[in-house]
């Protein structure tokens, strides 16, 4: 079963205070649907892995083992559970599809902006990002097969000025990058999960701007980086492995939070 916020509970009040409840459709609050924004997984991953655990627990091998032991009632219960899981998947194919499509929001944004063909390069301004965050970014993107380019950009009071200086630095490279990463204007929160991560950078042709999604304590936000990673690959497991390995190099561990 999936953790589900039930009205009137401390859990629900905490998630509501953080604006992490995804839906008010109470028909989905039966323990089989992702109804809140998780911190260490995307909603799609949480839903998928829950279904995978169900299938493993009610596998034909386990059913056969119970049958061989003569446990008639458990065998019948597990066969019925297998039937229900298959029926649930068929009935909720559209729901699963919507969760998966959320991962490709940034990839669709770039395609709509005419940036479908990817150079597989990102630019980091030297000295503007915390050293540990820069180390994380290099490890994360390199594991996705993306080249990281350093730019010499001085800190400016406005984002427009920094973007202008970045444009000049990019012109000197004589090459295109997919993303220019700049410091965030505010900490990233799970309540921002529905907001776009990328924007077109004025004065930077064929380049998108990414505000570094760090939580208030400086930890990279996995749900946000999962979507960024899907710009360069269609394999969420590859993105997840890259994120966790880069986080370890950064010297952090995934916090034990929901």
pLDDT tens-digit readout, 195-246: 999 988 666 667 788 889 999 988 999 999 999 999 999 999 999 999 999 9
Q: Is 15 exposed, middle or buried (0-12, 13-18, 19+ CB in 10 A)?
A: buried
Measured between alpha carbons, how far is 92 from 166 in angstroms, rounded to an integer? Answer: 46
Which residues lie closer than 8 Å to 156 by C-beta, 6 or more apart?
162, 165
User: Is 183 or 90 the better-scoring residue by pLDDT?
Assistant: 90
Measured between alpha carbons, how far is 101 from 96 in angstroms, rounded to an integer? Answer: 9
The CB-side HSE value for 57 (13 A sphere, CA atoms) comes to: 13
- pLDDT digit string, tens, across residues 61-108: 999 998 999 999 999 999 999 999 999 999 999 999 999 999 999 999
Looking at the chain, the whole-number percentage of residues with pLDDT higher than 70 is 84
Question: What global pTM score does this model have?
Answer: 0.86
Q: H-helix or E-strand containing 106?
A: helix 105-112
- pLDDT digit string, tens, across residues 41-51: 999 999 999 99
């Amino acid at each position: 079963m999936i953790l589900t916020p039930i009205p009137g509970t401390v859990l629900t009040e905490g998630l509501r205070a953080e604006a992490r409840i995804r839906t008010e459709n109470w028909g989905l609050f039966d323990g089989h649907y992702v109804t809140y924004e998780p911190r260490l997984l995307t909603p799609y991953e949480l839903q998928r892995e829950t279904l995978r655990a169900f299938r493993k627990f009610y596998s034909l091998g386990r059913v056969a083992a119970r049958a061989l032991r003569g446990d008639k009632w458990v065998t019948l219960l597990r066969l019925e559970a297998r039937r229900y899981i298959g029926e649930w998947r068929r009935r909720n194919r559209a729901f699963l599809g919507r969760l998966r499509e959320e991962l490709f929001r940034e990839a669709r944004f770039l395609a709509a902006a005419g940036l479908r063909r990817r150079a597989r390069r990102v630019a980091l301004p030297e000295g503007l990002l915390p050293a540990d965050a820069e180390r994380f970014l290099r490890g994360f993107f390199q594991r996705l097969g993306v080249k990281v380019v350093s730019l010499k950009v001085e800190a400016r009071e406005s984002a427009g000025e920094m973007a202008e200086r970045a444009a000049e630095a990019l012109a000197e490279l004589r090459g295109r990058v997919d993303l220019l990463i700049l410091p965030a204007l505010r900490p990233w929160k799970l309540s921002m999960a529905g907001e776009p991560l990328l924007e077109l950078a004025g004065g930077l042709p064929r380049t998108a701007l990414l505000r570094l999604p760090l939580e208030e304590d400086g930890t990279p936000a996995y749900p946000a980086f999962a979507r960024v990673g899907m710009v360069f690959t269609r394999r969420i497991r590859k993105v997840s492995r890259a994120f966790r390995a880069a986080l370890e190099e950064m010297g952090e561990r995934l916090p034990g939070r929901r």
